Structure 1
Amino acid sequence: MRTSSRRSRRSRPPASPPSTTDALQEDEIDALLARLVAKDEITEQLLAYARAVDRIDVPLIRSVFHPDAIADYGAMYSGTGYGFADFIAEVHPPMQTHTHHLSNIAVTVDGDVAGSECYVIMRARTIGADGTAHETVSHGRYVDRWERRDAIWRIAHRRYLHSLDELWTASTRLFEPAGSRGPDDPAYDVFPDPPASAD
């Protein structure tokens, strides 16, 4: 019985090398992982944009756009991405506070080019001369074309599609706004510096 067992082990064929099919599967997995990483990086850029606008952080806004990017916000603004950063720096400071909420983010990637669509809800509060608080809520979508240059995804062309807006007088205010719209906001203590603008 022992001799038979040893012969059985000796007669096993050697392990076969990886097949072409296995190599193709590895390539497909690598391509899938690359697309997932690209989608995550683009999503992070979208979130950085929303944070930058709410903090009125001009360098951070610019870091999301390529220097030659087009920014088409319809009747609100039309020009370059860098110019839009300057536009935000002009129109947002008079407001008491504002927030940009992003959702329904969809991204498609093809090599070093990508496209995305995401929904945005912007809420803003302004205080009138008589102390009355006025609320503005705006709904729309960002439709963006992205390009990866020097290993960084940035917007090459943005189009904002407006859906609806609402304006009303706020009747109650339970708490005063916390944090700030500048570099002394507590969020800057936990986020690293973004990649520098590409200009």
Structure 2
Amino acid sequence: MTIEERLAALEANMQEMTDRQAIFDCIKRNSRGNDRFDAALTAGSYHDDGLHEVGQNRVPGAGYGAHANAAHGKLFDANLHNVTMHMCEIDGDVAHAESYSLGMFLDKGGETGRVLAGLYIDRLEKRDGEWRIMLRRSTVEIALEGKATLPTGAFLPGSGYLRGNRDRTDPSYERPLSPDSGGRW
């Protein structure tokens, strides 16, 4: 193998790794936007003509952040979307990804909660050098609900734990991070 061939192979491998990370970052950005009620961050993970299928509804990607905020805000005091196992197949500027997801939701009042586990099945496209979702289909494989208590038996409200916020005042947006910010349960 010549030096040129080795460099070309190395460059191709580096591009694939860069694309894989950009795809996973896009998928995680979507979840962060949902949890922080950052509709622009959520919408920015979709192409303008992208689509999100949730249940039997198909929501334009550009409006999905506002849609999710309204649904989550009506029913829950807090929500966390976790993306776990992730795989993707890249074919040029198109990728198909499968990501396991765990959605945890604290019901209004903080005494009960639920967990939904399923898959995000995504088709992403790279346009102008940026990967975004064209189509997201979500499955629900497991749904659980129960009391939302700490190991001590206490409920979150009044526990004193740091609480995330559903906006840019969330401690995760703070730069530089300090020990003196954020609200408590």
Q: TM-score by structure 2 length?
A: 0.83
Cα RMSD (Å): 1.9
Task: Please show how residues 41-190 of structure 1 align to structure 2 within 5 Å.
Answer: 41-75=22-56, 77-94=57-74, 95-128=76-109, 133-171=111-149, 172-173=154-155, 175=159, 176=161, 178-190=163-175
Identity %: 26
Displacement of 1:190 in angstroms is: 4.1
State how far apart, in whole Å, the 1-side matches of 2:162 and 2:142 are.
25
The count of residues paired between Structure 1 and Structure 2 equals 168
Q: Is the 8 Å Cα contact of residues 115 and 143 (structure 1) preserved in structure 2?
A: yes
Partner of 2:179: none
State how far apart, in whole Å, the 1-side matches of 2:168 and 2:131 are.
24
1:36-70 deviation per Cα after TM superposition (whole angstroms, max 9, x unaligned): 00001111111111111000110000100001012
Q: Is the 8 Å Cα contact of residues 33 and 65 (structure 2) preserved in structure 1?
A: no
Displacement of 1:105 in angstroms is: 0.9
Q: Which residue identity does 1:155 align to in structure 2?
A: I
1:105-146 deviation per Cα after TM superposition (whole angstroms, max 9, x unaligned): 112212211111100001101135xxx612111001001111
Answering whether residue 5 of structure 2 is matched by residue 24 of structure 1, we say: yes
State how far apart, in whole Å, the 2-side matches of 1:74 and 1:147 are.
23
The structure 1 segments of at least 4 consecutive aligned residues displaced by more than 4 Å after TM superposition are: none
Q: Is the 8 Å Cα contact of residues 99 and 120 (structure 2) preserved in structure 1?
A: yes
Gapped regions of structure 1 (runs ≥ 5)? 1-19, 192-199
1:50-101 deviation per Cα after TM superposition (whole angstroms, max 9, x unaligned): 11100011000010000101211223x3221123222112111231111111
Displacement of 1:168 in angstroms is: 1.9
Displacement of 1:177 in angstroms is: 5.5
Q: Is the 8 Å Cα contact of residues 97 and 177 (structure 1) preserved in structure 2?
A: no
> 3-state DSSP class of the match of 1:41?
helix
Q: TM-score by structure 1 length?
A: 0.78
Deviates more, 1:78-87 or 1:32-41: 78-87
State how far apart, in whole Å, the 1-side matches of 2:19 and 2:146 are.
40
Gapped regions of structure 2 (runs ≥ 5)? 177-185
Name the larger-Rg structure.
1
> 3-state DSSP class of the match of 1:142?
strand
> 3-state DSSP class of the match of 2:163?
coil
